[in-house]
Each structure stands twice: as C-alpha cells, then as structure tokens.
Amino acid sequence: MLPDQQILRIPGPTPIPPRVQRAMSQPMIGHRGDEAKELLEDITPKLKPVFGTEEEVLVLAGSGTAGLETAVVNTVKPGDEVLVIVTGAFGDRFAKICDAYEIRYHRLDVPWGEAVHSEKVAHLLQQHPGISAVFCTYCETSTGVLNPVADIAKAVRQYSNALVIVDGVSAVGGAETKMDEWGVDVVVTGSQKALMLPAGLTFIAASKRAWKAMEENNRSRFYFDLRKYRDNLEKNSTPFTPAVSLLYGLQEVLKLLEEEGLEEVYRRHQLMMKMTRAAFQALDIPLFTADSDASPTVTAVKPADFDPEMLRKAVKEDFGLTLAGGQQHLKGQIFRIGHMGYCSPADVLQTISLLEIGLTKIGKSIELGKGVQAAQEIYVNQEGQK
C-alpha cells in the first residue's frame, strides 16, 4: 500500500476536512480573553439548526460518553425511575451509566440490528406510569440502525410526561435532527462523527422542560453540571477550560455545514447510505439491517459465507482502508462501514471498489465492479431527480 495513505471508513472517528485541520492549527489563545469570547459567540447560534432547536447547545470538553453521563446526572433525580431502550452497544451504555448511579431503570431490549417500535415504548410507559425519562439512541453505531426518534417522542408525549433523552452521537450533522419539532428534550452528540472533528468535544441541547427538571435536580454533580455551562454561555464563556483548538475546528465545521446547506448534507448522507446498500445487494451479500431501519451514517454487513475479519485485514493491508468490526456478541459476525461527515459519494465508490478486490482476495467469488455499478446507478438516478 501507499505509505501515509489512510482511508478511514469507520463510524467515527471520521476524516478531518483540510480546512478544519488548518483551523485547529491556529496558535493557542488564552481561554478567558476576547478572542475566546468571540469564538463562542460565533459558534453558539450556528449550532442550533444542526440540532433543530432554538435552545442553547452547550459544548463540554469530553467524549460522547461524557455527554451521555451529563444527560443522565442532570435529568434524573435520586429516586427517579427511567426507561432505557437498548438496540445495541450504545443503548447499553445508558444502562451502564444508570447502574453506576444506582438509578432504577426498565430496560427495553430490542434484537441488535433492528430499530425499536414506538408502540413498545408506549406500552411500557402505560405499564409504568412513574417513568420520568426515556433514554434512547438515534443512530445505534454498533448495528447501523436508525431508531425512529420522532415516533418515540410522539409516543412518549401521548402516554407520559417523561423526558425524551436522545444519544445523537453518530447521527447529529448527518441524519436530520429536529429536536424542537419532534418534542425531544435532550440531544447529546460527540465531535468525532458526522461533525468531522477529532474526539474531545461533547454537545448537549435541552428543552425548557428538561431545564426545569435539571434545575430541580439535587443530584451531586460538578464538571457535568449543565447549569454552570448555560450560565457561563450567557457571558460567552465556559465554567472550565474549553478545548480551544477543537472549538476553532468546530467554527470551521459550522461554516462548511452552512456552505453545503443542512438539507444537502442530509441528502448526501441518504445518498451514501443508498449507494452502499445497493452495492451489497448487487453483490448478494446480506446487510445486517432492513432498509426501513437503516442509518444514513453507518452500514453494517453480515456476511453468510466469509469471515468479515479476513476482509477487514485484506483491505487494510492492500489499501490502508479501515473498516470497523462488530462489537460484543457481533464480533467476527459483521463489519461496519462509516459514511458520514467528511465523506462523499466519490469516497463510497472508492470504498466499494476496494471491498470488491478484498472479497476476491479472500476467495469470495463475486463479479468485480458489480457493486460499484449498482452504487453508480443510484447516484446517477438520484442526481437526475434533483
């Protein structure tokens, strides 16, 4: 393979656009000076449409998990009873956080690879009227499933006053997110997925209902106390040291999203999903999720007659192409392709062409070019409809 060539197609971290890389390499500034204030002042309003909210989006230095924990400790009072929807490894993470805080929770387990049905959520809420919050994952990164967050929020609102708290980590910035319109109360995401940044920032937006619950919550918290971030943001500041270079990168990311237009960003991700899925369908290699449950940001494939680990190894060795494997019980069962953030239909075509070679090299009999052709046809037909 060509030295120094990385073709990174995992569902996060994702490649960094050159403009963002350059923005992050600006000389360091003091985080209590005017430049830092101007930076936050510029970023803050531009984050709102990405979350589909009129509320403030708060930015913390931390990973996505820090954001999930922040959501839990701020919204769940001691003694509360919550519902955790688990469609994969990241739904399970909410449950683990609840365990760590000894929060009583009902667990709605859905077979990995499927999306949750909102009727099941409604049913559980009717059975347990004391539930004060529902935790769910928008894109379940571990399976490539996109849960129907709008439907879930609607069902919750119909049967309960519970807060709807969404892990948007591999979705926000790639999959349409309309927090206010959908009636979602909290959306969390991380920087290293569709937001095209290195890991290190987590983002949380909360509805007025959620803010009320957070105000009334006496649970011990310090770094993750979201009220501090909100109060400081009013003065374009942060309660603790912000990750300044990542904020410079974020400023540039928001410019890129504005330039492309959010609707076009979402359309591009849908297109990349359809191209990827069409390729595997043409090659007769089973996808792990149904079309109706598929995420626009990550596609999981569950081969029937070859070892996904051998394929991953082959394309990594030959081309520096990195794909993700399965997590937990899906290890060795599936492989996952990230197509989000700084990723284009051109990159999807490249990935498929390399996968076809990898398949051939590990002895899987396919017709070379057939997956590429199917993806190209999707592209040509979609573009014709614009």
Contacting a copy of itself (CB under 8 A), which of 10, 29, 256, 362? 256
Interface with a copy of itself, residue 181, by CB under 8 A? no
DSSP 123-154: HHHHH-TTEEEEEEESEETTTTEE--HHHHHH
CB of 64 or CB of 345, closer to a copy of itself? 345
Size of the site for a copy of itself (CB under 8 A): 46
Q: 168 has which bridge partners?
A: none
Cα–Cα distance, 117 to 186 (Å, whole number): 20
Position among 8, 10, 13, 17 found at the interface with a copy of itself (CB under 8 A)? 17
CB 257 within 8 A of CB 174: no
**By CB under 8 A, residue 69 contacts a copy of itself:** no
* Binding of a copy of itself by 290 (CB under 8 A): no
Identify which of residues 2 and 28 has a Cβ nearer to a copy of itself in the complex. 2
284 lines the binding site for a copy of itself (CB under 8 A): no
314 binds a copy of itself (CB under 8 A): no
DSSP one-letter string for 50-102: HHT-SS-EEEEES-HHHHHHHHHHHH--TT-EEEEEESSHHHHHHHHHHHHTT
Omega of the bond leading into 148 within 30 degrees of 0 (cis)? no
Tally the C-alpha atoms within 13 A of residue 116's C-alpha that lie toward its C-beta: 33
Given 259, 284, 291, 305, the residue binding a copy of itself (CB under 8 A)? 259
Residue 150 makes contact with a copy of itself by CB under 8 A: no
Note whether 383 binds a copy of itself by CB under 8 A: yes
> Counting contacts by CB under 8 A, is residue 377 touching a copy of itself?
yes
**Distance between CA atoms of residues 283 and 281, nearest Å:** 5
| Contact residue for a copy of itself among 268, 277, 302, 312 (CB under 8 A) | 268
For residue 200, the Cα-to-chain-centroid distance in whole angstroms is 14
- Per rule CB under 8 A, is residue 2 in the interface with a copy of itself? yes
Strand order in the sheet with 324-325: 298-301, 335-338, 324-325
364 binds a copy of itself per the rule CB under 8 A = no
Residue selected from 8, 10, 13, 19 as contacting a copy of itself according to rule CB under 8 A: 19
- What does the block give as tokens for 147? 């849960």
Report the C-alpha gap between 267 and 217 in whole angstroms: 39
Q: Using CB under 8 A as the criterion, what x/- string covers residues 94-113 for binding a copy of itself?
A: --------------------
Binding site listing = 336
Which residues are at the interface with a copy of itself (CB under 8 A)?
1-7, 17-20, 25, 256, 259-260, 268, 318-321, 342-347, 349-350, 353-354, 356-357, 360-361, 367-370, 372-374, 376-377, 379-380, 383
- Residue ranges for the known binding site for substrate are 336
